[in-house]
Structure 1
Amino acid sequence: MPITTERPETTKPALTTTVAKEYVHRASLSEVFLTGWEKAGPDAYVVTAQWPRSHSFYAPEQGLHDPLLLCETVRQTFPLLTHVAYNVPFGYQLSWQRMQFSINPQALRMESTPCEVELHVTVSDIRYHRALPTQMSMHIDVVRDGTLLAVASTRFGCHSPAVYERLRAGRGNKELFANAPAAPQAISRYRVGRQRTQDIVLAPTQERWRWQLRVDTSHPVLFDHPLDHVPGMLLLESVRQAGHALQPSWSPMIPTAMDVTFNRYVELDEPCWIEAEALSGGTSARRTVRVNALQGGSFAFTATTEMTDVSSV
């Protein structure tokens, strides 16, 4: 019998991992959605990400991924690229100035495997100080299986520790987190379409169109690590929940578009009031809502959101 010493060819599987959690300013590996990046041209990049089929906070609705998974993916993209592509050191603080997105809800449908997406990022309007960016904008086309899932744009600032300390005027310390007031009572789960009280970020007031921002610093996703201010993703969640609570419905509503301008940091130790009003021209299946946040007598952020009934998708 002839003996062969040749080994059969084997196909090595493609190996996928997440980017380092430090690059996306996360403490928990399970909350890192980005899986890689590459340069595509001058100030142009392709970032890859994977969305889980199930998540403790960004839960699916009737077979659709949560649109705020997109927002968190974008939020992770700008620290990643500032560090790996623009050499911003660790310890610098990033601050959201604006966030916009419009999403194709049909492309949110869940499949039998986790959702793989590509973010085609173009960076523009970069302002530098001593060779490091202090502000930049990103336009992002989000693609899933060759189909445009969403278009997003964002602008943010990059602050050195010294600059951040001046911006925060002595409030940039973790003692504020440790001594944050207890979260007030939540409004009903029905009004915001949430299953768990822990995930509700609005507290009731006497007016049906006005709420107190509910800040629970023990929340394992929204407060993945200690902060000296309310995180941007909690503020985006308040826009979603206010859009739902203004006209509650038993049918789930998801934000298919959002435009948020951040004017100032939202402090942990002062009440912040969320106000909402419906804009004209909406339908029962799709409505546009304006949401404002007031703290200390000024607007902390202003926003509009388009809320869509998932049964109409």
Structure 2
Amino acid sequence: MSDTLYVDGRVRPRAVHTGLQDPDGSGVPRQRHDVGVPGKFVHRTAIEDVLITSCDRLDDSHFSLTARWPHDHRYFTPHHGHHSIVLAGETIRQAALLLSHTELGVPVGHHFVLTDLAYTTHPDHLTVDGRPRELLIEASLADTRMRAGKLVGCRVDMAFRAAGRTVATGHTQYSVTTPAVYRRIRGERLAARRTNGPLPPPVPHQLTGSLEDGDVLLSPTDRSDRWILRIAPGHAALVNPANDHVPGMVLLDAAQQAARALTAPSSFVPYAFSTEFHRYAEHGAPCVIAARRVPSAVPGTADVEVVSYQQDEPVSTSLFTAPERRR
């Protein structure tokens, strides 16, 4: 599994506020109307988890979207007065899914396999002021691959803007598979589901930037730089019970928590993030999250690399870059 993100801001968006609907329930998007974005098009079941609010086509490969970042979401909580960097990644994910379903003809029920994900935010423009943050998103398609008139892969470049300022840039790359192909890929693992057995203890939530222990994705080991992935049953913001594997967004947030735990008690507030998915994280097998400091190529910054493993094989690799803490 893998995913990548990059943005260059070449497109000037129009101010639009359109929605999308699926009137006959077929899973194939129909004419846009002035309604909200249905959760099925961004793969979210709870309304409060839908971040994209509208989408408008500019031409065959450029689009203008709007999004709203909540200031009081039950899970995507601010950290040190800034919106969570994972919120930017989730917004990119939702925007790419929405474009795929509504503009590129991918039916709901098809599967998306991420290759890598990367984005850079501007911390000065990510502060939380007690109100939701309204965003304009410029999106452009690249490396679009079709087979028999159907989308099989794509890269989407994005730029987020608020009040005329660039908030973040990024891109994602992914492939699309039909349910039949996905069944062949997954085989017997298609029936795997997360069990709700006893959870291992969490690390203190203060170390991960979480509001409470129930939001912590890390369980301690005998090493201060390694943890075991734990997923509480109430993690509806990240986990769909129907998933046959651990979602990539869970691994992304676990990586962010690991970076914070590794650098505690210092304040580690990353502004740039990249990740590469190597394979699926399976249910039923321990997933080890390992973090380490690595040399940074940018003066005045600090880098933390986080790798998740199952059965000693890497599942994902993430890199976080934060301003270097001044003593």
Taking structure 1 as the reference length, the TM-score comes to: 0.87
Distance 2:93 2:202 in 1: 26
Deviations 1:255-279 (A, max 9, x none): 2111100011101211111111101
Q: CA deviation at 1:112?
A: 5.2
Which residue does the alignment assign to 2:270? 255
Amino acid at match of 1:85: E
Deviation at 1:195, TM superposition (A): 2.5
Q: Distance in 2 between matches of 1:270 and 1:77?
A: 31
Measured against aligned partners, the alpha-carbon deviations of 1:256-312 in whole angstroms (never above 9, x if no partner) come to 1111000111012111111111012599x8420111111123110111111348x98
* Contact 2:79–2:209 (CA under 8 A) maintained in structure 1: no
Cα distance in structure 2, aligned partners of 1:208 and 1:307: 20
Whichever residue aligns with residue 33 of structure 1, its letter is L
Find the counterpart in structure 1 of residue 204 from structure 2: 188
CA contact (8 A) 1:137 1:156 kept: yes
Quote the residue 2:66 is aligned against. 48
User: 1:197 is matched by which residue type in structure 2?
Assistant: D
Q: Which residue of 2 aligns with 1:246?
A: 262
Give me the CA root mean square deviation.
2.2
1:299 aligns with 2:314: yes
For 1:30 and 1:190, the matched residues in 2 are separated by 25
In 2: Cα distance, 1:37 partner to 1:247 partner = 39
The aligned residue for residue 118 of structure 1 is 136
- The answer as to whether partners of 1:190 and 1:250 remain within 8 angstroms in 2 is no
Q: Distance in 1 between matches of 2:257 and 2:323?
A: 13
Counterpart secondary structure, 1:164: helix
Mark the CA change 1:281 to 1:69 in structure 2 (over 3 Å): closer, same or farther: closer
Is 1:172 matched with 2:190? yes
Whole-angstrom CA distance in 1 between matches of 2:284 and 2:136: 38
Aligned to 1:10: none
CA contact (8 A) 2:142 2:154 kept: yes
Alignment of 1:1-313 (within 5 A): 18-111=36-129, 113-173=131-191, 175-177=192-194, 179=195, 181-249=197-265, 251=267, 253-281=268-296, 286-308=301-323
Identical aligned residues as a percent: 27
CA shift in 2, pair 1:52/1:170, >3 Å:
same
Match of 1:171, SS state, is helix
Displacement after TM superposition at 1:224 (Å): 4.6
Q: Distance in 1 between matches of 2:213 and 2:261?
A: 14
Partner SS state of residue 255, structure 1: coil
Tell me if the contact between 2:205 and 2:215 (Cα under 8 Å) persists in the aligned partners: no
Larger Rg: 1
Which residue is 1:4 aligned to? none
SS in 2 for 1:123: strand
Q: CA 1:281/1:259 → structure 2, altered by over 3 Å: closer, same or farther?
A: closer
How far did 1:64 drift?
Answer: 2.1
- Alpha carbons of 1:307 and 1:241: their partners in 2 closer, same or farther (altered >3 Å)? farther
How far apart are residue 226 of structure 1 and its match?
2.8
Q: Which segment drifts farther, 124-133 or 215-224?
A: 215-224
| One-letter amino acid of the counterpart of residue 307, structure 2 | N
Question: Using a 3 Å threshold, how does the CA distance of structure 1 residues 268 and 59 change in structure 2: closer, same or farther?
Answer: same
Q: C-alpha distance in 2, partners of 1:180/1:73?
A: 28
Q: What TM-score does the superposition give when structure 2 sets the normalisation length?
A: 0.84
Q: How many matched pairs?
A: 294
Structure 2 residue identity aligned to 1:147? R
Secondary structure of 2:171's partner?
A: strand
The C-alpha deviation readout for 1:108-144, integer Å capped at 9, x for no partner, is 1223532111111111112222211111111111111
Q: Which has the higher contact order (CA 8 A, sep 6+)?
A: 2
Aligned to 1:11: none
